[in-house]
Amino acid sequence: MRETTAHVPVGSGLTDISVRDFVAPLFRRKRVLAVTFLAVLGVVLLAALLLGPSYSSRMAILVNRERFDPLVSTEAATQVMTADNPVTPEEINSEVELLSSRDVLEKVVVANGLEDPPQGFSVASTIDKLLHPNDTRDDRIARAVKRLAKKLKIGNIKNSNLIEVTYKSPDAQLSYGVLKSLGDLYVAKHVAVHRPAGSYEFFSNETQKYHDELESAEGKLRNFGSQNAVAAPDEQRTDLAGKAADSVGLLHLAEQAIAADEERINDDRRQMNATPQRSTTLQASAANDKLIDDLNAALLAAQTKRTQLAMKYDASYPLVQEADQEIAAAKAAIAQAEEKRYVTETTDRDPTYELLREDEAKSQADLAAQRATRAATERSIRNLQAQMVNLDQLSISQQDLKREAKAAENSYLLYLAKREQERTSNALDTTRIANVAIAVPPAIAVLPVLSWPMIFLIAIGSALVTSVGAAYAADYMDSSFHTPAQVIDILRIPVVVTVSKKTA
């Protein structure tokens, strides 16, 4: 019987509900149940057919403390950090945030072409084109990043240091590529965040700078030697100091020799003044025989003349007297000549005087030589002193250049070691030796997440649940009475006759 008098909810006022009463709405709404079941089943199957199979890829990241980078500083001693505490949940959460950071997701989108519309016909791409007809590549990348962030499932595995990342898409290769690029970009992001950026470039630039300074300082040292014609000013100055000391000694010796020579010359001159230049070597004394003979001859001639005159003249004759006077004069001269004796002496140079003279001449020559030696030695000492002063200045300049070269070398070696440390750290970064590691790398899925039997089961289950709910909802929304019991219970009047409604 079916009469429409009032809206009565199903089961209202009933105390006992039987299985028949529970399934009765389904029989009453068979059409709604069947249509809904078939519609939902068709929609689910059609959606599965249009979307295609879905492939999921999984990746696990281990967070640990196995690597410690040296602190970036310009100190020679490298500070080493030691780990006393395990990885904290905050650190794991920080790594999760790095994984889902926007810049990393943008790079993943670009690397896998997720911003590009799929090839061929696609409902999603068609709708997207209709909704965004004038979008740019940046707009597509932004939307792709949002979709990727929704599809990525990132979480910490309980009671472990592992972070699980899953991604599902219709393309198995795409799922693998997304996680692979995500892992690579995440490790690079981790390294960039946990290590100061540009440290290797800084130390490399500083190393090159001090290398150039070292080459410049060494070039100045080389040019210093060639320009000043000196290799080791300190050693040469020491040698010149020794030579100067020897020259000073020679100068003193020359002055002593000069004083000795001057005194010797003066002494020689005093002795020469007291010594005759010549001395007698032979002395002979004898009368003047020749004079006496001449006088005797003159006497004989005078006597002969008188004799001749006496024969002719008287003794008083003047001629005779003149002859007598000549005879007397001759005899007087003979007597005087016999009284005088002639001494013959032979003289020669005095040997003492000659020795003194030769010694004086030799001393004069020695004195001149010693004076020349003194003058030359004085000039030599002045030259040596000037060279020593010059070498001292050159030594100071060379020491400055050596200090510059040594300082540049120390700085160069320090920054070279620092650069090698940073290069090692970069090499470790390049080889993925960091405090995070891809413990479980992503793999290309062979089987889809849901197989067709599973899809059919899901479709049937979804259709069954949806159709049953729709049947109950339609029955609930119907305001007519369905059973005599509802009339009696709601209206409190007896039912005399019930007539069933026949469907056409």
The CA distance from 471 to 40, in Å, is 13
Domain residue limits at 334: 278-349
Residues 137, 34 share a domain: yes
The CA distance from 426 to 432, in Å, is 9
Task: Name every residue whose Cβ is closer than 8 Å to that of residue 214 and which is 6 or more positions away in sequence.
Answer: 405, 408, 409, 412
Residues 282, 151 share a domain: no
One-letter identity of residue 473: A
- For residue 249, tell me if it sits in a domain: no
Rg (CA), the chain: 73
Q: Can you give the pLDDT at residue 152?
A: 87
Number of domains in the chain: 2
pLDDT in tens, the chain (504 residues): 344 333 334 444 444 556 766 677 777 777 877 888 888 877 877 776 666 667 788 888 888 765 544 554 555 555 445 545 577 878 888 888 888 888 888 888 888 887 776 554 455 555 665 565 667 778 788 888 888 888 888 888 887 888 888 888 877 888 888 888 888 888 877 777 766 566 667 778 888 888 888 888 888 878 877 777 777 777 888 888 888 889 898 889 989 999 998 898 898 888 888 888 777 666 665 556 777 777 788 888 888 888 887 887 777 778 778 888 888 888 888 787 777 766 666 766 778 888 888 888 898 889 899 889 999 999 998 898 888 888 888 888 888 888 888 888 888 888 888 777 767 666 555 554 456 777 778 877 766 666 667 777 777 888 778 878 777 777 777 666 666 766 676 666 776 676 666 544
- For residue 73, tell me if it sits in a domain: yes
Q: Can you give the pLDDT at residue 376?
A: 92
Q: Quick check: pTM over 0.85?
A: no
**Which of 304, 326, 349 is at the close of a domain?**
349
Residues 124, 36 share a domain: yes
- For residue 397, tell me if it sits in a domain: no
- For residue 298, tell me if it sits in a domain: yes
Residues 186, 37 share a domain: yes
Coil, strand or helix: which one is 93? helix
Residues 36, 173 share a domain: yes
Residues 174, 291 share a domain: no
- For residue 158, tell me if it sits in a domain: yes
Torsion of CA 125, 127, 131, 132, to 10 degrees: 10
Question: Is the CB of residue 160 less than 8 Å from the CB of residue 174?
Answer: no
Question: Is the CB of residue 235 less than 8 Å from the CB of residue 368?
Answer: no
Residues 151, 282 share a domain: no
Residues 457, 330 share a domain: no
Residues 344, 460 share a domain: no
Residues 441, 339 share a domain: no
Instruction: Using alpha carbons, select from 482, 394, 411, 348 the residue that is nearest to residue 206.
Output: 411
**Which of 329, 349, 369 is at the close of a domain?**
349
**Which of 314, 349, 384 is at the close of a domain?**
349
- For residue 315, tell me if it sits in a domain: yes
Residues 185, 304 share a domain: no
- For residue 272, tell me if it sits in a domain: no
Question: Is the CB of residue 370 less than 8 Å from the CB of residue 262?
Answer: no
Go through the chain and tell me how many residues it has: 504
Residues 189, 60 share a domain: yes
CA dihedral sign of residues 200, 203, 206, 210: negative
Around 192, how many Cα atoms within 13 Å sit in the side-chain half-sphere?
9
Burial 9-44 (b: 16+ CB within 10 A, else e): ebeeeeeeeeeeeeebbeebbeebbeebbeebbeeb
- For residue 375, tell me if it sits in a domain: no
The CA distance from 76 to 229, in Å, is 38
